[in-house]
């Protein structure tokens, strides 16, 4: 019974968190953008925009209710976990489908004169180290050094380990299964550390120099807002890299201790970085939604600056309002038109190769996990 309550509680938290974030998305976006389409600075104030927003809120509410009902049906049928998973799928697919439906509707309402902004772009001549870049560089070096240290620690401990290593874990950190010891088994967790923590630091570094989409005019307010948004995101990713490094390093060291027979299960030390990742993630969401806004939207609100320029105002280079594809633009990353954070410029070969490389590494590690 307790397990059923916990499973359902997770679904309810997920539904209200994800659904709530989807309801917030169009409200934290930059003035001029509406559901992934550049509509001009005045559209958001009109009755047509309000009608679309009301329909969006109703749609999100219905998707959330459907996800909860599916979860309850699963529980009533005696399989709460299946209900939880199906409910989560209903939530994610429903919200995504609703977005694309709304995107199509909004695109049809686009005023014809907004396309003239597509060719315009504003940049500052201000020179200075981008905010968050130094922290990201230090984090990258730190994560690489620590991750390499965990690899060396595991290799040096290999001769003093027993014949078998724990490779399956229960929720409370106990050993659920063991595998014959090999370099693959002892290097598996340190390898994840060597990939994931530096990856987040590299993303932080890329975000710190991501493209800025400024408004026409003197640009001081939108440039400051963009810099603040970029720095906040870069620092969030650097922080995530450090916490992931702390979590996987602790995990790796504890696995070695179990392998040497010095411990029988994972200790509570891992709970600290785990908790910090969850809390940090939630806090980051609150900071962006309440204080900064997507692309610094809340910080530039009320300014008398002109229309949006650059990649964000260019409808022709966005697919579905979420995929940016511009071969002429040397930027690796651009801010999302709908949602939070940044996305890749898929027209840039370096961006595509970087993504393929990262997914290649992650998939290799996942596949290696089946051989443990």
- Interface residue with other proteins among 220, 277, 323, 372 (CB under 8 A) is 220
- Interface residue with other proteins among 31, 212, 230, 337 (CB under 8 A) is 212
Closest to other proteins by CB, 120 vs 153, is 120
In this structure, how many other beta carbons lie within 10 angstroms of the beta carbon of residue 320?
Answer: 13
Residue count at the site for other proteins (CB under 8 A)?
Answer: 30
- Interface residue with other proteins among 1, 2, 125, 172 (CB under 8 A) is 125
- Interface residue with other proteins among 173, 218, 280, 281 (CB under 8 A) is 218
- How wide is the angle at C-alpha 173 spanned by C-alphas 171 and 175, nearest 5°? 105
Stretch that binds other proteins, among 3-11, 159-167, 208-216, 251-259 (CB under 8 A): 208-216
Residue 80 CA to residue 84 CA, distance in Å, equals 6
136 binding other proteins? (CB under 8 A): no
Q: Inter-axis angle of helices 271-286 and 220-259, to 10 degrees?
A: 170
DSSP 8-state symbol, 187: H
Residue 248 CA to residue 304 CA, distance in Å, equals 48
Stretch that binds other proteins, among 122-130, 185-193, 228-236, 275-283 (CB under 8 A): 122-130
Closest to other proteins by CB, 47 vs 328, is 328
CA proximity to 366, closest of 153, 181, 195: 195
Stretch that binds other proteins, among 39-47, 87-95, 186-194, 209-217 (CB under 8 A): 209-217
Which helix (H) or strand (E) covers residue 71, if one does? helix 47-76
Stretch that binds other proteins, among 24-32, 52-60, 152-160, 205-213 (CB under 8 A): 205-213
Helix, strand or coil, per DSSP, at residue 166: strand
Residue 35 zone, left/alpha/beta (φ > 0; ψ -120 to 50; rest) = left
- Interface residue with other proteins among 14, 120, 137, 164 (CB under 8 A) is 120
CA proximity to 225, closest of 280, 159, 275, 291: 291
Binding mask 30-49 for other proteins (x = CB under 8 A): --------------------
Which positions ≥6 away from 248 have C-beta within 8 Å? 147, 150, 189, 190, 192, 193, 196, 197
Binding mask 332-371 for other proteins (x = CB under 8 A): ----------------------------------------
CA proximity to 54, closest of 114, 111, 105: 105
Please give the residues from 266 up to 325 whose contact with other proteins meets the rule CB under 8 A. Answer: 309-311, 314
Stretch that binds other proteins, among 171-179, 213-221, 236-244, 359-367 (CB under 8 A): 213-221
- Interface residue with other proteins among 53, 109, 121, 361 (CB under 8 A) is 121
- Interface residue with other proteins among 161, 196, 223, 266 (CB under 8 A) is 223
Task: Give Cα 267 distance to the centre of its chain.
Answer: 28
Q: What burial class does residue 101 get, using C-beta atoms within 10 Å of its C-beta: 0-12 exposed, 13-18 middle, 19+ buried? A: middle
Write down the least CB distance from residue 102 to other proteins, Å.
26
Closest to other proteins by CB, 70 vs 333, is 333
- Interface residue with other proteins among 217, 280, 285, 362 (CB under 8 A) is 217
330 binding other proteins? (CB under 8 A): yes
The strand ranges marked E within 260-361 are 318-319, 323-324, 333-335, 342-344
Residues forming the site for other proteins (CB under 8 A): 116, 118-127, 209, 211-212, 214, 216-220, 223, 309-311, 314, 326, 328-331
């Amino acid at each position: 019974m307790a397990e059923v309550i916990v499973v359902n509680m997770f679904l309810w938290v997920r539904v209200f968190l994800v659904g709530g974030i989807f309801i917030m998305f169009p409200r934290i976006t930059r003035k001029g953008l509406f559901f992934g389409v550049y509509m001009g600075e005045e559209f958001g104030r009109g009755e047509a925009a309000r009608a679309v927003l009301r329909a969006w809120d109703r749609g999100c509410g219905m998707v959330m209710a459907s996800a909860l009902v599916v979860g309850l049906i699963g529980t009533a049928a005696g399989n709460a976990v299946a209900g939880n998973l199906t409910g989560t799928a209903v939530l994610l697919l429903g919200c995504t489908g609703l977005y694309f439906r709304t995107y199509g509707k909004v695109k049809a309402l686009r005023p014809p004169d907004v396309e003239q902004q597509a060719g315009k772009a504003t940049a500052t001549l201000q020179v200075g180290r981008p905010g968050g870049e130094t922290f990201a560089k230090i984090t990258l070096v730190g994560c690489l050094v620590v991750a390499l240290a965990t690899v060396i620690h595991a290799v040096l401990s290999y001769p003093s380990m027993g014949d078998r290593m724990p490779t399956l874990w229960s929720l409370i950190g106990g050993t659920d299964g063991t595998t014959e010891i090999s370099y693959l088994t002892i290097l598996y967790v340190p390898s994840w550390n060597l990939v994931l923590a530096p990856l987040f630091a590299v993303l932080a570094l890329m975000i710190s120099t991501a493209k800025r989409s400024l408004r026409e005019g003197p640009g001081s307010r939108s440039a400051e807002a963009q810099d603040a948004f970029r720095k906040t995101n870069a620092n969030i990713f650097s922080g995530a890299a450090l916490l992931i490094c702390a979590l996987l390093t602790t995990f790796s060291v504890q696995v070695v201790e179990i392998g040497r027979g010095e411990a029988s299960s994972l200790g509570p030390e891992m709970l600290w970085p785990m908790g910090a990742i969850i809390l940090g993630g939630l806090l980051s969401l609150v900071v962006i939604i309440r204080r900064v806004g997507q692309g610094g939207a809340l910080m530039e609100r009320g300014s008398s600056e002109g229309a949006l320029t650059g990649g964000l105002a260019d409808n022709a280079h966005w697919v579905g309002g979420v995929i940016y594809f511009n071969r002429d633009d040397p930027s690796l990353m651009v801010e999302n038109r709908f949602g939070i954070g940044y996305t890749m410029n898929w027209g840039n070969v370096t961006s595509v190769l970087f993504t393929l490389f990262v997914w290649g590494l992650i998939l290799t590690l996942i596949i290696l996990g089946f051989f443990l």
